[in-house]
Amino acid sequence: MSETTTAPVLTAKDFATDQEVRWCPGCGDYSILAQVQKVMPTLGIPRENIAIISGIGCSSRFPYYMNTYGMHSIHGRATAIASGLKAARPELSVWIVTGDGDSMSIGGNHLIHLLRRNFDLNILLFNNQIYGLTKGQYSPTSEENKITKSTPMGSIDHPFNPGALALGADASFVARTMDRDPKHLQSMLLRANQHKGTSFLEIYQNCNIFNDGAFEIFTEKGTKPQETVFLEHGKPLVFGAGNDKGIKLDGFKPVVVDFNNGASADDCWVHDEKDIYKAQILTRIFDNPCADGHLPRPFGVFYQNDRMCYEDAMEMQLQEAKAKKPADLDKLLRGNEVWEIN
């Protein structure tokens, strides 16, 4: 009679390492790390089949603190390295941890090509709108007129909108969450893992040393209900302290309606994760939260679509090539021009 072995039940502690976590006290990275460590045991994936690849930046110390395989790579190239790993070892669960500077500046080109190729892996973009590791320079997501050490008169750059950029690169999964909403962050990590293809998850992360309070209006109890709208597939876009407001489409223009003035949830825009056209509109709800008449910032899954993964298509081509002609490595290396020296 054969014996069956049961895989050990893992906990968050099993995904923690003995390394001292070296982030500034109060950094939003601590929350993200804690939520990732809580979610990982629920995925049912052995630790030896998980790889976390990072670039350069504060967030990129992540692999040191996860008891999985990982690599702290070079600036902007985590996406390229992760692509190669997934192509060679498609059975692995690959996670990329990157920052707004690492992925949207020097790594921008690698990022957009990974998104269009659609490898089955997950991108966690920690967006703090600043270069933290190098002590406070403006980043590609810093708002206009941002005063930093490198822009003492205010930044004249127009910032990237990460969600819109991802959709523009034909990403098959685009979502946004925040460090100070652990439950929502966990739910988005689970959704990212469930998606077959490249998942792009932007995480608003507070840098309390060089850009403290950048997302305070979206995260604090006093303002969060009015300034955020949480997207749920098949449900209307409703927000407000008492869920007393909503968003409807006036043609292609989103407008706020007040339920106290005769409107209701039935009048509101119903979210459809499969609708690429409405997803484009949602990512463009990126108003300055201090401007009059601005719309609440969306959080959740903007878009999700199923299409062929790069590594699957590559494997199909390889198998087709092998079926047509058996591989002969020795002949390939010798080539057509071979000579002998006596």
Query: pTM of the entire structure?
Result: 0.94
- Under a CB-based contact definition with an 8 Å cutoff, are residues 218 and 286 in contact? no
Q: How far apart are CA 89 and CA 284, in angstroms?
A: 36
Instruction: Tell me the helix, strand and coil percentages in the chain, rounded to 5.
Output: 35, 20, 45
- Give pLDDT, residue 4: 62
- Give pLDDT, residue 230: 98
- Give pLDDT, residue 290: 87
Give me the count of residues in the chain: 342
- SS3 state of residue 39: helix
Tokens of 333: 């290396």
The pLDDT tens digits of the residues spanning 240-299 come to: 999 999 999 999 999 999 999 999 999 999 999 999 999 999 999 998 998 999 999 999
- SS3 state of residue 78: helix
Find tokens 């792009």 and name the residue: 200
Q: Which residue ranges make up each domain of the chain? A: 12-214
Q: How far apart are CA 128 and CA 205, in angstroms?
A: 5
- Under a CB-based contact definition with an 8 Å cutoff, are residues 54 and 85 in contact? no
- Give pLDDT, residue 169: 98
- Give pLDDT, residue 330: 86
**Average pLDDT value for residue range 306-335:** 90
- Give pLDDT, residue 1: 53
The pLDDT tens digits of the residues spanning 49-105 come to: 999 999 999 999 999 999 999 999 999 999 999 999 999 999 999 999 999 999 999
How many angstroms separate the Cα of 200 from the Cα of each of 60, 186, 204? 16, 15, 13
Confidence of residue 2 (pLDDT cuts 50, 70, 90): low
Find tokens 């930093």 and name the residue: 148
- Give pLDDT, residue 334: 81
How many angstroms separate the Cα of 236 from the Cα of each of 173, 175, 217, 267, 281? 20, 17, 23, 9, 15
Confidence of residue 322 (pLDDT cuts 50, 70, 90): confident
User: Domain 12-214: which CATH class?
Assistant: alpha beta
Neighbours of 171 (CB within 10 A): 27
Q: How far apart are CA 297 and CA 224, in angstroms?
A: 10
Q: How far apart are CA 283 and CA 304, in angstroms?
A: 13
- Under a CB-based contact definition with an 8 Å cutoff, are residues 73 and 81 in contact? yes
- Give pLDDT, residue 205: 97
Q: Where are the alpha helices (DSSP H) in the chain?
A: 29-39, 78-88, 100-101, 108-117, 162-168, 182-194, 216-219, 224-227, 276-283, 310-324, 329-334
- The tally of CA atoms less than 13 A away on the side-chain side of residue 226 is 11
**Average pLDDT value for residue range 311-339:** 87
- Give pLDDT, residue 121: 98
Q: Side chain identity at 52, as an amino acid letter? A: I
The pLDDT tens digits of the residues spanning 11-63 come to: 999 999 999 999 999 999 999 999 999 999 999 999 999 999 999 999 999 99
Average pLDDT, the chain: 95
Confidence of residue 3 (pLDDT cuts 50, 70, 90): low
**Average pLDDT value for residue range 139-146:** 93
- Give pLDDT, residue 341: 84
- Give pLDDT, residue 41: 97
